[in-house]
Structure 1
Amino acid sequence: MKHSNGKQTITQTDVAELAGVSRSIVSYVINNGPRQVAPETRERVLEAIKQLEYRPNKNAQRLSSTTESIAEKYIVIVLAHDYMFRRPYYGAILASIHDHAHQHDLHIRFIRIFEDFKNPALFNELIHSDEIGGAVLLGLDQAISTPQDETMITKIVERMERVVCVEWEWPGISSVSFDRQLAAYQAASHLFDKGYQRVAYIGPEDKRLQGYRQAIWEHQAQIDDRLIHFAINPESGFDECHKLLQVGVQFDAICAGTDELSIGVLKCLYDAGLRVPQDVGIASIDNIDISAYTIPSLTTVDVPKDEIGRQVVAALLADDSQISDISISVRTTLIQRNSTMR
C-alpha cells in the first residue's frame, strides 16, 4: 500500500519478511505479548523495525492535512530518568510547561522516559510529525552515554520541526536553562560575605562545582578537595555530609547544589549535634517550596521554574525564522533565610 504522496507504507508483514519470522511474532514483540519471544528473535525483529522505520498506523484513513493540523497542537516531553517525576524541582517545571502550553492551546500528548525510545517500534510510533508538533527534552544530558543515544537525539530532531532542550544544550536546538556555575558562585560567595571561612561543597558533579571553585579563588580561600562531595538527593546529601564529618577536616559552611539534598544535609548536621547557622551555615540552589519551611529555613538561590516553563513554550511557538538555536538562560537570585543568619 502507498500513501497519496507515493511513499511506500511499511507493514508488519514487511518487518516479518526482513526478520525472517512470522507476522504474529512481530506483533508479539511490538505489543510485548501475549506470548514471549526468544531474545535472539526479538533482537532481529527490533533491528528490522529500525531499518524499515516501521511505525504502527492507528488510523490509516485520516487525511494528511487533518493530521498536520491536529499534530501541531500537541507536544511531548521526554525526561532523562523516571525519578524526575518525584523531584519537586522538575515537577514545578513540568507544571509550568503544562500551564503555559494550555494558555496557548497546546496539549501534552505524553511524557516518557528517554530509555523507552530504545524500542524502535515505540520510537517510530510516538516520535512522528503525524502525531506531534514539538518535543521538549528535559535534562537528557543525564541519559546520553553512547553513540546510539546521540543518534536517537539526532533522529528526534530530524522528525520534529520544533524541539527545545531544557536544562541542557544540543547543537542547533533551542534551549532554556539557568547558569549553574553562576548559581553556585552566588551561594558560595554569600557564605563568605556572611563571615564563613571554610566552605564545603555537596552537590552534583557539574558546572555548579566550577562556580563553587570560582568563589573560593575570588575570596582567597584555599581549595581543599576533601571538602568536595557529590550528591543529588536527600539520601546522598545525608551520606556525603556524614562522610565529610568523618574526614575530620575543618569546615564552617556548606554550599549545597540543590535544596532537596540540603534536607539530608540538615538532618545529618542535626544528628551530629551541630547547629545551623551558628556552627555551620548552609546556602543552597533551586528555591523549591519546602526550602522556606525547613528548620532553619534555607538560604537559597532562586531558579525561576515558572519562567523556564514560559520560555519553553515561547520557544515552541517561535516564528519559523527563530526556531533554531535560541539559547535562553533565566536569571537566578539569592534569597537569604535563616540558615546563614548567625
Structure 2
Amino acid sequence: MTEQHNSKIITQEDVARRAGVTRSIVSYVINNGPRKVSQETRNRVLSAIKELEYRPNKHAQMLSSADDSVAEKYIGIVLAGNHMFKRSYYGSILAGIHEQAHKRDWHIRFIRVFEDFNNPTLFNELIHPNEITGVILLGLDQVSQTSDNNTLIQAIVDRVERVVCVEWEWPGVPSIQFDLQKAAYQATNHLLTSGHHQAAYIGPEDRRLIGFRQALWENKIQPDFRLMLCASEMQDGYDRCQELLHIGSPNAIVAGTDEVAIGILKCLNEKHIAVPNDVVIASIDNIDLSRFTIPSLTTVDIPRDRIGFHAIDILVSDQHRKGASAFSITVPVQLIIRDSSVPPSNQ
C-alpha cells in the first residue's frame, strides 16, 4: 500500500467518485446495509477503498493531526482463525501476551482474525501507524497457502513499524516458537524405548510428523504410513482413532496435541482398550487439562506463557529489527511423564 494519499483526508465522496457510484452506495458497502448492493458494485467500492486507503472519519481526523503519539505503546494481535479463541493452548499464549504487555506498560488495541483484514476498510482502520505501533501475528502459517493471503500478510508487515511472528516465520520478521520436531521426537522416543514398537501418530501434518519418523528411524523401526493420521482438534482425534483401530492394532500412540489426545482417550475408552495397559499415549502441549484426564497424560511441556512474554519483549525492545537482521527465538521443551505412558507394574 502506498502513502501517496496520507497528506489528504480521503472521504466517502472520493471513494464514490473512484468507484463510479453514489456516496450512499459507499455507505451501504461499509456498513453492510441497510440496502443490498450487487457483488460487482461492492467489489468496485472495496477496490476504491483499498486504492485510496480510505479510513472512517474519526480515524481520518487522527491522521490529519499527524500525531503518531496516539498509537504509542498500542499493539494489535492477528490470529490465524476463530478456532484459536476456542483452544486452551492459544488462550495461554494470549494470557502471557496480555500479562507481559501490562508489565511493560503497553496496551492491546485489538485482537482480530486474519480473514477480517480482507476488508480494506478494516485494514486501513486498524493496520495503521496512527492506530498501533506494533502487531503480533500468531500462527499465520495456517493461512499462508495462497498468494492473496501472502500479499495481505506482507501488506501488514510493510504498514506496521514493529512486527513479531509467534509460532511461525516470515522473511525479515523476528519470531518466537518452539521446536515442533524435537517435541514429537521426545514423546515418540519415550514410548519406543519403553518397549512399545507398534507406534501410530495422530496429529497435525507439520514438523511434529518429522519428529515422529525420526524417532522411528533412530530406533530401527520401519514406518507404517497407514498409522500416521492428520488431526488438530479433540473431535479429529476421536475420529482418526476410530479409523486407526480399523487399520491396525498399535500399542503406542503419539498425539500431536493434548486436545487430540483427549479425543483419542475417549475413543479407546469406548472400545474398552485400557490406557496404559493395552496402549500407551504421549502428546504435546501440557495444557492444564492434561493433568486431570484419566489417566493423566504424558506430554511434552511447551512454555506457552514464556512464548507470550518473549513476543512482547521482542516487540517493545529498542533492539527490535525487521529485515536481514531479524532473529528467531526457540523456547525449550520438556517431557512430562504421567500415567498414560507408564503401566502400573512399572510405576
Q: Same fold (TM over 0.5)?
A: yes
Partner AA of 2:273 in structure 1: L
Partner of 2:335: 334
2:218 paired with 1:224: no
SS of equivalent residue, structure 1 residue 58? helix
Q: Map of 1:246-285 to 2, 5 A cutoff?
A: 246-247=246-247, 249-285=248-284
State the 1:67 CA deviation: 3.8
Partner of 1:123: 123
2:174 paired with 1:174: yes
Contact 2:253 2:281 in 1 (8 A): yes
- Measured at CA, do residues 276 and 59 of structure 1 come closer, stay the same or move farther in structure 2, by a change above 3 Å? closer
Q: Runs of 5+ in structure 2 lacking a partner?
A: none
1:248-277 Cα distance to aligned partner (Å, 9 max, x none): x23100010000110010011111111101
SS of equivalent residue, structure 1 residue 276? coil
Contact 2:71 2:130 in 1 (8 A): yes
- Measured at CA, do residues 337 and 31 of structure 1 come closer, stay the same or move farther in structure 2, by a change above 3 Å? same
The CA distance in 2 between the partners of 1:64 and 1:26, in whole Å, is 22
Partner of 1:149: 149
The CA distance in 2 between the partners of 1:228 and 1:321, in whole Å, is 40
Q: Map of 1:243-322 to 2, 5 A cutoff?
A: 243-247=243-247, 249-320=248-319, 322=321
- Measured at CA, do residues 6 and 123 of structure 1 come closer, stay the same or move farther in structure 2, by a change above 3 Å? closer
SS of equivalent residue, structure 2 residue 57? coil
The CA distance in 2 between the partners of 1:254 and 1:320, in whole Å, is 43
SS of equivalent residue, structure 2 residue 54? coil
The CA distance in 2 between the partners of 1:321 and 1:142, in whole Å, is 25
Contact 1:76 1:132 in 2 (8 A): yes
User: How many residues get paired?
Assistant: 338
2:38 paired with 1:43: no
Q: TM-score by structure 2 length?
A: 0.94
- Measured at CA, do residues 59 and 184 of structure 1 come closer, stay the same or move farther in structure 2, by a change above 3 Å? closer
Q: Which runs of 4+ in 1 moved over 3 A?
A: 59-67, 320-324
Partner of 2:206: 206
The CA distance in 1 between the partners of 2:285 and 2:159, in whole Å, is 33
The CA distance in 1 between the partners of 2:20 and 2:321, in whole Å, is 46
Partner of 1:190: 190
Contact 2:69 2:130 in 1 (8 A): no
State the 1:158 CA deviation: 1.0
Percent pairwise identity: 59
- Measured at CA, do residues 6 and 129 of structure 1 come closer, stay the same or move farther in structure 2, by a change above 3 Å? closer
The CA distance in 2 between the partners of 1:56 and 1:33, in whole Å, is 16
- Measured at CA, do residues 162 and 217 of structure 1 come closer, stay the same or move farther in structure 2, by a change above 3 Å? same
Partner AA of 1:86 in structure 2: K
Contact 2:314 2:320 in 1 (8 A): no
- Measured at CA, do residues 63 and 42 of structure 1 come closer, stay the same or move farther in structure 2, by a change above 3 Å? closer
The CA distance in 2 between the partners of 1:120 and 1:187, in whole Å, is 44
The CA distance in 2 between the partners of 1:17 and 1:58, in whole Å, is 21
The CA distance in 1 between the partners of 2:59 and 2:186, in whole Å, is 53
1:139-172 Cα distance to aligned partner (Å, 9 max, x none): 1111123211111111111110101111110000
Partner of 2:91: 91
Q: TM-score by structure 1 length?
A: 0.95
Contact 1:78 1:135 in 2 (8 A): yes
Q: Runs of 5+ in structure 1 lacking a partner?
A: none
- Measured at CA, do residues 52 and 65 of structure 1 come closer, stay the same or move farther in structure 2, by a change above 3 Å? closer
Contact 2:181 2:211 in 1 (8 A): yes
The CA distance in 2 between the partners of 1:226 and 1:234, in whole Å, is 20
Contact 2:167 2:177 in 1 (8 A): yes
Partner of 2:138: 138
Contact 2:54 2:121 in 1 (8 A): yes
The CA distance in 1 between the partners of 2:60 and 2:269, in whole Å, is 63
State the 1:9 CA deviation: 2.4
- Measured at CA, do residues 256 and 145 of structure 1 come closer, stay the same or move farther in structure 2, by a change above 3 Å? same
